[in-house]
Chain A
Amino acid sequence: MTRQRILLVDDDAAVLDSLAIGLEDRYHVLVARNGAEALEVLRQQSPDEPVDAVVLDLYMPVLDGEGFLREYFARGGAVPVILASAALDLGATADRTGAADWLQKPFSLRALEAKIDRVTAARPPAGTGGTPPAAPSGGTSEGGGGGGAPRSRRRDSRPYEISTLVVAEIASGQLPVLLGL
């Protein structure tokens, strides 16, 4: 069975590094440092290797957690999101924004894993032929007149400037380098 893919979003290098190291024993971990980078990671996810859950900080530069949730759900995103923040009233924030669950910092790795397992169990297993959340609308208008044109993989092959993003896969061992740790 393939490991579940978890996207960690936090602007604090130490929080990101420690959680990534902690989770990598059980999950395939991706990281982003703000909401904008997280949206980019989710947009680029391949249908064969979808992200199973997002662990999201709230206060971040560029695009904060709430901004991310608004934007992501407006795009039809369906991956469950767990708020993980030092902010107060996370329960109310989760209810308001549609986040699946929440944890207030400081929390234990064990608690986070339990939340991840809970929110991912509530969804059909990913990557087993079931249809991962297909990109809704959006892409279809790109072709203009080509009504019957087969839906291409264009979204995935678009030359994103991945180098400008700090999106590292822990497995590649790049994260500590990128974080300067």
Chain B
Amino acid sequence: MAEALLSPAAYRLLVEHSPVLIWRAGPDGRCDYFNDTWLRFTGRTLDQELGERWAVGVHPEDVDRCLRIYRDHFGRREPFEMEYRLRRHDGVYRWIFDRGVPVFDAGVFVGFVGSCIDIHVRREAEALRSSFLSLIAHELRTPLQAIHTYLEVVQRRIERNEALPTDVWEKVSRQIQRFSSLVDDLSEAGRVERREAVPVERVAMDLRPVVEAAVRRQRDELAALPAAAAGRHTVTLEVTGERFPLLGDAERLDRVLEDLIGNAVKFSPAGGQVAVRLATDGTRHRVSIRDDGIGIPQAEIDRVAEPFFRGSNALNPRFPGVGLGLALARDIVSAHGGTVEVESIRDRGTTITLNLPELLPEGVS
């Protein structure tokens, strides 16, 4: 028995200051107690919560379900568990897990006590995961469709003894590559999510040719696409400095640049400008990629490098991708001892800057 271990005062202190939101209801189902943690969470007074007034703070979409579960279990005197959104003192609704249990005193039902924890972060992670899964399914189906159709055409032409469409094998192979790189992303996603360090090689290299090659590939890719009415994107490169020596993994950094420059194109309108700059102060190299695209809502900037996170203005699958590029970039750059900075103004554009320290190989002064 708790009473045997703790004095009533100590017990009360524990309840009042526990990180858990606690409530109590009498045998009539009306709440007659909320701990300090609850009141600090909702920012309301005890009087404002008593009876069934607490339900005012429950999200309008959840309140009916919440009251139904509460009353139903109360009537049957059975424990319940439920999740709902509760308004915090700052007006933000947070997902709450609430567990209520009936209390009996010497066999007589005296009411319920409940404890709640904030599970908002978990709920959001679940939502991200589910949107990631539907995005990846969508992304995988597209090259699969093209492969399927090309092969069906090939089969028909062979059956009819006709010439195959021009470059059909090359086209199929390009779609298979596209499919494979999505599958690579999936395995990469698992690693990023487990927060495992990215294995990077540390080889003496120069950053300049890597940046130049990534820009060139993006330009080639744009030139190969049909231009929209508003015109093609342009990708500019400005290099300040001569040498950009670094101990690093050229292949990984290449992937980072490809993703980030690709993102800049993807999230900016047709005809948009993507400016890539490479500079150095002798000890740190800076690569920045600036676009004039949709930007990132201010409140979401801090989360943008989380795996699977996608800006609320970028959830439409017309922006292909699964929300991994920046998370991966952050991991790879930090494995090089560097940092990633994100600056963005919604509807104006985004600048991503990679800071990569120049590290001299050991034993070389």
Contacts and interface: CB of A to CB of B under 8 A. Distances in A.
Given A59-B138, A106-B144, A164-B229, A11 B318 contact: yes
A105 B144 CA distance: 8
Nearest to A112: B149
A164 B52 CA distance: 63
Contacts of B251: none
Interface stretch (A94-102, A138-146, A172-180): A172-180
A59 to B, nearest CB: 4
Contacts of B270: 61
A181 interface: yes
B149 A19 contact: yes
Contacts, number: 88
A58 to B, nearest CB: 9
Contact of A59 (B146, B167, B174, B317): B317
B315 to A, nearest CB: 11
B165 interface: yes
B318 A86 contact: no
A83 B153 CA distance: 21
B318 A15 contact: no
A61 B228 CA distance: 10
Nearest to B139: A86
- Interface band, chain A: 35 or more
A13 interface: yes
A166 B226 contact: yes
Given A11-B318, A14-B143, A59-B318, A106 B226 contact: no
Contact of A86 (B141, B166, B174): B141
A171 B339 CA distance: 53
Given A13-B225, A180-B225, A181-B167, A18 B137 contact: no
B176 to A, nearest CB: 11
A110 B153 CA distance: 10
Interface string B120-161: 000000000000001001100111111111101100100000
Interface residues of B, number: 33
B171 interface: yes
Interface in A13-68: 13-15, 17-19, 21-22, 25, 33, 59-62, 64
Contacts of B316: 59, 64
Contact of B142 (A12, A25, A164, A176): A12
A180 B178 CA distance: 16
B309 to A, nearest CB: 20
A64 B319 CA distance: 12
B224 interface: yes
B44 to A, nearest CB: 40
Nearest to B148: A106
A64 B318 contact: yes
29 contacts: A12-B142, A13-B225, A14-B143, A14-B146, A15-B142, A15-B145, A17-B171, A18-B171, A21-B149, A21-B150, A22-B149, A22-B153, A61-B318, A62-B228, A86-B137, A86-B141, A87-B317, A88-B134, A104-B141, A105-B141, A106-B141, A106-B144, A107-B148, A109-B152, A109-B156, A110-B152, A164-B229, A166-B226, A180-B223
Interface of A: 11-15, 17-19, 21-22, 25, 33, 59-62, 64, 86-88, 104-110, 164-166, 176, 178-181
Interface of B: 134, 137-138, 141-150, 152-153, 156, 165-167, 171, 174-175, 178, 223-226, 228-229, 270, 316-318
